[in-house]
Amino acid sequence: MRTQNTKYLGRTGKTQNPKISPDIFKAYDIRGVYPKEINEETVYKIAQAYAKFLNFPKRVALGKDVRLSSPSLWRAAAKGLTDCGVNVVDIGTGSTDMYYFATANYNLDGGMMISASHNDKEYNGIKMVRENSIPISGDTGIYDIKKLVLEGFSYSVDKKGKVEKIDILNDYINKIISFVEPNKIKKFRIIANTNFGMAGKVLEKIAIYVPTDIIKLNFDPDGNFPKGKPDPLIAENRKEMSQMVVDKNADFGVVWDADADRCFFIDRKGRFMEGSYVLAILAKIMLAKNPGAKVIADPRIVGPTKKATEKAGGKLILSKAGHSFIKERMRKEDAVYAGENSGHYFFRDFFYCDNGMIPLLLIMEYLSESDKDLADLNDYYIKNFSVSGEINLPIGKDTSRIFKKLKEEYPDGEQNLMDGLSITYSDWRFNLRASNTESLVRLNVEASSQKILEEKKDELLCAIKEN
């Protein structure tokens, strides 16, 4: 027998009706400060609404990251699902890409991941997918789930769902190793910075198949994130690692965010490699393995990937940034690979999902087969593609005025509104877009020379700040 209520009955039996902020429902996932904005009662309600949205699926993957609040929130989500009669597949503590893998590989009906990605330690949240790890985003269900939650939806059945725990690590390792030929990869000496997240456990397992001299940095999982926000895009966070790569005479360094679905590289000279450069290198690698295939990229920085794709005989397609948009376009185009300048790299043969370990393996294989190292590749891209890196500017939620102003100030450039505002000239280009998660605009500039880049970057920053 099923019963539908508008209140959640907690363990005490007393009626609970916590006030839930609508602001925790973001474009790609759900995030908030624990326990003020997101807590056990909130997560229970979200899990119930998720079950309703998917028409009460039979089996759903449920994972969690290393945050201190994740075990408690995981239990709340599991109860919300099982109270609805949904069976929970407990995949344990792991990375976001492991949760994508589990949902798709084991033909589950959906998946939820308790995680706040690279946010500060006081945050937590939920990522959600349907079958085949198809994302649930603002355009494809998050706001429907939000409506159910805010209306007080709850649901209960007499026959509760069960919790089944599985160990997915070996199957996951076999999947990502399949992207390379391990016997072709030489032994590299690398600095591995996991930002106190879950990448280390996976990397140690990979090293069994691909012998690697791993020098560990911030390697043990720690939900306190003792060195601050676990986001590799913050330049200050990379200083320790850059110095360590040089001091230890490493071939290169690799760094992940806390949930390990993004990776970045430091060359042997201690220099950060821009995400747009890595995106282009991986496009070249994937097109060598899949001649004539399609590649998808976001429009923030396009020059390096455009050149690499054309040279390799592939077809580049631009898509709005955001994993849900990228994945949808990949499926539509049957693209073999996609990348975002923010460090997300997607693979058709990984269920059209992003993965933070496959790029490392592909680059190790590529370097093993060539006479170059990562610093040589970085030199080439720095010399030929001047890029600003992403510049985040606080500007509030109303960005229409600044977009209007820039369109008027650069009327003779080729304008595109696919994702924010892109304006292209023969020797330089910029993209300005509003953040989907914060009150910021994000500016990226690229040019044919460093001189032009600095000139145009300063020009744009003045125009934006004067708005």
How far is 178 from 171, CA to CA, in rounded Å?
11
**Predicted pLDDT at 6:** 37
**CATH code of domain 274-384:** 3.40.120.10
How far is 405 from 417, CA to CA, in rounded Å?
14
As to burial, measured by CB atoms within 10 angstroms (0-12 exposed, 13-18 middle, 19+ buried), residue 150 is middle
As to burial, measured by CB atoms within 10 angstroms (0-12 exposed, 13-18 middle, 19+ buried), residue 275 is buried
| Signed CA dihedral, 4, 5, 11, 12: sign only | negative
Strand partners, 137: none
CATH fit for domain 2-169, picks 3.40.120.10, 3.30.70.3450, 3.40.20.10, 3.10.20.30: 3.40.120.10
Residues near 103 by Cβ (< 8 Å), separated by ≥ 6? 61, 110, 111, 129, 131, 132, 133
**Predicted pLDDT at 139:** 87
| Signed CA dihedral, 310, 316, 321, 324: sign only | negative
Structure tokens belonging to residue 293: 């295939």
**Helix-then-strand count for the chain, H and E:** 14, 26
Structure tokens belonging to residue 142: 């998050």
> CA-CA distances (angstroms) from residue 252 to 191, 240, 382, 435, 444?
7, 14, 17, 31, 26
Which of 70, 72, 117, 133 is labelled catalytic? 117
How far is 68 from 35, CA to CA, in rounded Å?
11
The model's pTM is 0.94
Give the class (CATH, top level) of 187-270.
Answer: alpha beta
Question: Domain ranges in the chain?
Answer: 2-169, 187-270, 274-384, 388-465
Cβ-contact 141, 46 below 8 angstroms: no
How far is 55 from 49, CA to CA, in rounded Å?
10
Q: Which CATH superfamily is domain 388-465 in?
A: Alpha-D-phosphohexomutase, C-terminal domain (3.30.310.50)
**Predicted pLDDT at 438:** 72
**Predicted pLDDT at 51:** 98
Q: Which of 177, 340, 353, 188 has its CA nearest to residue 274?
A: 340
Q: Is 95 a catalytic residue?
A: no
How far is 198 from 220, CA to CA, in rounded Å?
8
List the chain pLDDT tens, one digit each, 467 residues.
Answer: 444 543 333 332 333 445 899 999 998 999 999 999 999 999 999 999 999 999 999 999 999 999 999 999 999 999 999 999 999 999 999 999 999 999 999 999 999 999 999 999 999 999 999 999 999 998 899 999 999 999 999 999 999 999 999 999 999 999 999 999 999 999 999 999 999 999 999 999 999 999 999 999 999 999 999 999 999 999 999 999 999 999 999 999 999 999 999 999 999 999 999 999 999 999 999 999 999 999 999 999 999 999 999 999 999 999 999 999 999 999 999 999 999 999 999 999 999 999 999 999 999 999 999 989 999 999 999 999 999 999 999 876 567 889 999 999 999 999 999 999 999 999 999 999 988 767 789 999 999 999 999 999 999 999 998 76
Whether 388-465 and 2-169 are alike in CATH topology: the answer is no
Cβ-contact 261, 354 below 8 angstroms: yes
